[in-house]
């Protein structure tokens, strides 16, 4: 009845396998149907991706993990890989690096799990203020001539502008440790010490997570971290790390590109989807939604500002989802098509961020429920709608073709038999090794051919909220926002070791691994007369959660932490007893498009 543009399809994660990849098969279907409307913006690391492109001209900035074995200093900056993995070998090499004598420092509002297990020192920092601290470290290095002058001159572009900003020549504000201390909550002395240590211990790896980038001006964090790595000469050499990047490695990945037709859909940023669903064209969005089609995404739970999300889903005439479980989002659907689990079919698996191997995913369980893979579901719909060529092939024909499209890969029979395939490549893989070893023949893929501390890409935007050099910009819902008078606690929502985002929250046997209490500092609990194990309300003007408290000295005063991904479970008053953090978060993106789940002010009181 309606034009295809009025179909909104929402994809995010789901199955990440190669053929039955939820996002890819959904995209293929709607792309063959016509121009539709869909979501854009990488929820996990848009800030890092934009920063990588601006600074290095590519999103591939990752090195293999054994590289850490040569690091003498490792800084875990908003990074907790013992929980979040970042590749299956990360914890292994991090622990071995520690045994080999690397000093480890954790910069995080919490003494996180990796910090607790491995770090020699924890520096508790206020969320969203990391850039101020990084700039102050640069100030310390510049004014004491500790930075690597030669490396900076040879490989970077725009250092002078950065120096003028840091030393206060540009705007009259000297970005020294005293200035930063007031913002980030760490005293000047430890900032100076860390600056000296990072500048003089070589090689050093400033390992940046994505969480500090999921904040109001998150891209500045990644840009500042990359700048520090560059001016200390910690890029392209063994044991260093391209701090602030996406951490992805550019190794042959198979499939999908031959699978995806080229259709330009209307794009709506993931933080604006609820506005678009509610207001459509009247608020300047490309179309009015007539059909919302969700695959592999528990959007109501996982996207920001859940109460607005509820209104948005209620306002829809027709919602379809493919799901494995009756999730909070699926409850709003008119039709739920039961999706098969990846354990129920054969496929090919490719590693986190692109490590040098590929695995065959053997089917582990027979499907007896009658559910179908996403590919199978779309195949059936295509047949009934008369869409030709959606998929005339069997799964093994597709997989065989994918492998053949990359000459270096083995054939399907061989991969299936061997289970894994390892690429032959030099080890460790070190990002930008060639650019540093032989710059004449290997310029960085940026306009200047160098590491851009001054980014031409950002300069062209002429947007003061995305400046060409990394700057500290005070955050909305941060320590410098007036809202802090009513809502004095900064909430962060890390990923849980017992879930994959919201997946597995409904699985009973995972209960014992959960750590779903609200972390509160001893001081914040004391002034509110709250004791360990008490039930509290955590709330702001967007929503209210009732949950149990864990009082701990592993989180700094003024900050609280609740693991994300718990399923929304409201009572009749709209108070959530499930512990879904997104009832409190604001659906606003950073200027470069980051999903700001760690920018959120709340109050806490005893229930
Ligand atoms: N077990 C498990 N592993 C996962 C996932 C999962 O759900 N469960 N999810 C996967 C996915 S989709 C992603 S995108 C990644 C996410 O990976 P990350 O974004 O790196 O992980 P987080 O757990 O959100 O945060 C990491 C650390 O950053 C800290 N932090 C939060 N805000 C700030 C800040 O403003 N400044 C500083 N310095 N630190 C801050 C937190 O306290 C935490 O210790 O993890 C992946 N791995
Ligand atoms: N407050 C806060 N919110 C966050 C974050 C945060 O740190 N804090 N992190 C954000 C991040 S980094 C991410 S990546 C997002 C993740 O958000 P989502 O992409 O929504 O991830 P999941 O919660 O894992 O939901 C995936 C859904 O897909 C279903 N599924 C699994 N396999 C298949 C399949 O093969 N086919 C189909 N059709 N469905 C399948 C699962 O049952 C599950 O309900 O959450 C974001 N939300
Ligand atoms: Mo993510």
User: First vs last Cα of the chain: how many Å apart?
Assistant: 51
Tell me, what's the pLDDT at 83? Answer: 96
| Cα distance between residue 254 and residue 21, in whole Å | 12
Task: Kindly give, in sequence order, each residue whose CB lies less than 8 Å from that of residue 208, ignoring residues fewer than 6 positions away.
Answer: 48, 77, 78, 79, 221, 222, 225, 243, 244, 245
Alpha carbon of 339 to ligand 1 centroid (Å): 28
Q: Take residue 149 and report the two structure tokens written for it.
A: 């002058």
Pocket test for ligand 1, best of 16, 303, 494, 514 (most atoms within 8 A of CB): 494
Specify the DSSP element, H or E, that contains 550. Answer: strand 543-551
Q: Which residue has the tokens 């009572």?
A: 571
DSSP 160-176: HHHHHHHHTTTTS----
Biggest CA-to-CA distance, the chain: 71
3-state secondary structure of 191: helix
**pLDDT confidence of residue 456:** 93
pLDDT tens-digit series, residues 58-116: 999 999 999 999 999 999 999 999 999 998 899 999 999 999 999 999 999 999 999 99
* Residues 6 or more apart whose Cβ sits within 8 Å of residue 259: 19, 24, 28, 398, 402
Q: Could you tell me if the CB of 13 is within 6 A of ligand 2?
A: yes
Question: Is the Cα torsion angle 110, 73, 357, 209 positive or negative in sign?
Answer: positive
Q: Which atom of ligand 2 is found nearest the CA of 500?
A: 24
Q: What is the distance in A from the centroid of ligand 1 to the CA of 276? A: 28
> Do 506 and 566 contact (CB within 8 A), yes or no?
no
Residue with CA at minimum distance from ligand 2 atom 37: 296
Other residues' Cβ atoms within 10 Å of the Cβ of residue 318? 13
Ligand 1 touching residue 579 (CB < 6 A):
no
Q: Which regions of the chain are under pLDDT 50?
A: none
**Residue 83 Cβ < 6 Å to ligand 1:** yes
- Tell me the CA–centroid distance for residue 411 and ligand 1, in Å: 37
Helix (H, G, I), strand (E, B) or coil at 42: coil
DSSP one-letter code for 339: B
H-state helical runs in 57-102: 81-84, 90-99
Hey, CA dihedral for 188, 189, 194, 196, is it positive or negative? positive
Going from the Cα of 105 to the center of ligand 3, the distance in angstroms, rounded, reads: 24
Number of C-beta neighbours around residue 566 at 10 A? 25
Q: What is the pLDDT of residue 532?
A: 98
Q: Residues near 503 by Cβ (< 8 Å), separated by ≥ 6?
A: 298, 565
Distance 43 CA to ligand 3 centre (A): 6
The pLDDT, as a whole number, for residue 357 is: 87
User: How far apart, in whole angstroms, are the C-alpha atoms of residue 464 and residue 46?
Assistant: 19
Is the minimum distance from the CB of 305 to ligand 1 under 6 angstroms? no
- Distance (angstroms) between ligand 1 centre and the Cα of 571 equals 29
Residue 109 CB less than 6 A away from ligand 1 = yes
Can you give the pLDDT at residue 304? Answer: 98
Per the CB < 8 A criterion, the answer to whether 298 and 329 are in contact is yes
- CB of 181 shorter than 6 A to ligand 2: no
Give the model's pLDDT for residue 217: 98
Task: State the closest ligand 2 atom to the C-alpha of 15, by its place in the atom list counted from 1.
Answer: 35
Could you give the CA distance from residue 324 to residue 301 in angstroms, rounded to a whole number?
15
Among 577, 542, 46, 110, which residue's Cα sits nearest to residue 311?
A: 542
Q: What was the pLDDT predicted at 407?
A: 82
Output the pLDDT for position 329: 98
Q: What is the 209 CA–ligand 1 centroid distance (Å)?
A: 7
| Separation CA 600–CA 496 (nearest Å) | 19
Ligand 1 pocket test: which of 86, 191, 211, 472 has the largest number of ligand atoms within 8 Å of its C-beta? Answer: 211
Nearest ligand atom owner, CA of 598? 1
Output the CA angle 263-269-270, nearest 5 degrees.
110
Residue 208 φ then ψ, to 5°: -100, 130
Amino acid 251: pLDDT: 77
Structure-token pair, residue 100: 């080999």
The response to whether residue 302 sits with its C-beta less than 6 Å from ligand 2 reads yes
Question: Which residues have a Cβ under 8 Å from the Cβ of 45 and sit 6 or more positions away?
Answer: 210, 213, 246
In the sheet that 420-422 helps form, which strands lie side by side, from edge to edge?
347-349, 357-361, 420-422
Q: From the centroid of its chain, how far is CA 355? A: 18
Ligand nearest to the CA of 304: 2
- Residue 84 Cβ < 6 Å to ligand 1: yes
**CA 71 to centroid of ligand 3, rounded, Å:** 27
CA 128 remoteness from chain centre: 15
> From the CA of 449, how far away is ligand 3's center (Å)?
31
Measured from the Cα of 22, ligand 2's closest atom is: 36
Q: What's the rounded Cα separation, in Å, for the pair 508 and 585? A: 27
- Characterize the bridge pairing of strands 319-323 and 121-123: unpaired
pLDDT of residue 256: 64
140 Cβ below 6 A of ligand 2:
no
- Given the CA of residue 213, which atom of ligand 1 is nearest to it? 35
> Which of 39, 41, 43 to mutate for ligand 2's pocket (most ligand atoms within 8 Å of CB)?
43
């Amino acid at each position: 009845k309606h034009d295809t543009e009025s179909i909104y399809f929402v994809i995010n994660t789901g199955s990440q396998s190669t053929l039955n990849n939820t996002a890819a098969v959904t995209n293929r279907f709607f792309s063959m149907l016509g121009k539709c409307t869909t979501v854009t913006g990488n929820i996990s690391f848009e800030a890092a991706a934009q920063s990588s492109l601006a600074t290095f001209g590519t999103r591939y900035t990752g090195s293999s993990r054994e590289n850490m074995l040569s690091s003498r200093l490792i800084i875990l900056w908003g990074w907790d890989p013992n929980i979040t993995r970042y590749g299956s070998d990360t914890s292994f090499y991090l622990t071995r690096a520690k045994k080999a004598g690397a000093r480890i420092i954790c910069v995080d509002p919490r003494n996180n799990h990796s910090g607790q297990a491995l770090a020699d020192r924890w520096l508790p920092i206020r969320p969203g203020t990391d850039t101020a601290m990084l700039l102050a470290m640069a100030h310390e290095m510049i004014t004491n001539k500790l930075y690597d002058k030669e490396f900076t001159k040879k490989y970077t572009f725009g250092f002078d502008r950065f120096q003028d900003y840091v030393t206060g020549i540009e705007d009259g504000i000297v970005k020294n440790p005293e200035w930063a201390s007031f913002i980030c909550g760490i005293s000047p002395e430890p900032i100076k010490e860390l600056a000296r240590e990072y500048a003089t211990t070589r090689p050093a790896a400033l390992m940046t997570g994505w969480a500090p980038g999921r904040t109001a001006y998150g891209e500045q964090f990644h840009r500042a971290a990359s700048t520090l790595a560059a001016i200390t000469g910690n890029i392209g050499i063994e044991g260093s790390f391209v701090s602030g990047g996406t951490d992805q490695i550019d190794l042959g990945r198979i499939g999908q590109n031959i699978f995806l037709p080229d259709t330009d859909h209307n794009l709506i940023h993931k933080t604006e989807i609820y506005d678009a669903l509610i207001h459509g064209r009247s608020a300047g969005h490309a179309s009015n939604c007539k059909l919302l089609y969700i695959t592999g995404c528990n959007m109501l739970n996982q996207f920001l500002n859940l109460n607005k999300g509820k209104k948005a889903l209620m306002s829809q005439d027709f919602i379809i989802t493919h799901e494995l479980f009756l999730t909070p989002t699926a409850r709003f659907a008119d039709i739920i098509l039961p999706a098969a689990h990846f354990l129920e079919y054969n496929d090919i698996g490719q590693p986190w961020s692109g490590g040098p191997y590929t695995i065959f995913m053997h089917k582990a369980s027979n499907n007896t429920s009658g559910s179908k893979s996403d590919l199978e579901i779309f195949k059936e719909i295509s047949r009934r709608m008369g869409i030709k060529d959606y998929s005339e092939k069997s799964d093994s024909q597709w997989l065989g073709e994918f492998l053949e499209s990359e000459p270096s890969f083995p054939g399907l029979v061989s991969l299936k038999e061997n289970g894994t395939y390892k690429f032959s490549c030099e080890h460790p893989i070190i990002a930008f090794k060639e650019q540093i070893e032989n710059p004449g023949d290997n310029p960085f893929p940026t306009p200047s051919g160098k590491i851009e501390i001054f980014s031409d890409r950002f300069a062209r935007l002429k947007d003061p909220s995305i400046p060409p050099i990394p700057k500290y910009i005070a955050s909305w819902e941060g320590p410098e926002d007036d809202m802090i008078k009513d809502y004095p606690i900064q909430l962060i929502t890390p990923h849980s070791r017992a879930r994959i985002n919201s997946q597995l929250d409904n699985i009973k046997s995972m209960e014992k691994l959960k750590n779903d209490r609200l972390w509160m500092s001893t001081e914040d609990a004391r002034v509110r007369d709250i004791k360990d194990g008490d039930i509290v309300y955590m709330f702001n003007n967007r929503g209210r959660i009732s949950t149990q408290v864990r009082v701990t000295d592993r989180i700094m005063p003024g900050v609280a932490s609740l693991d994300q991904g718990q399923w929304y479970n409201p009572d009749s008053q709209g108070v959530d007893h499930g512990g879904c953090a997104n009832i409190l978060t604001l659906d606003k993106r950073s200027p470069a498009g980051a999903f700001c789940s760690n920018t959120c002010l709340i109050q806490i009181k005893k229930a």
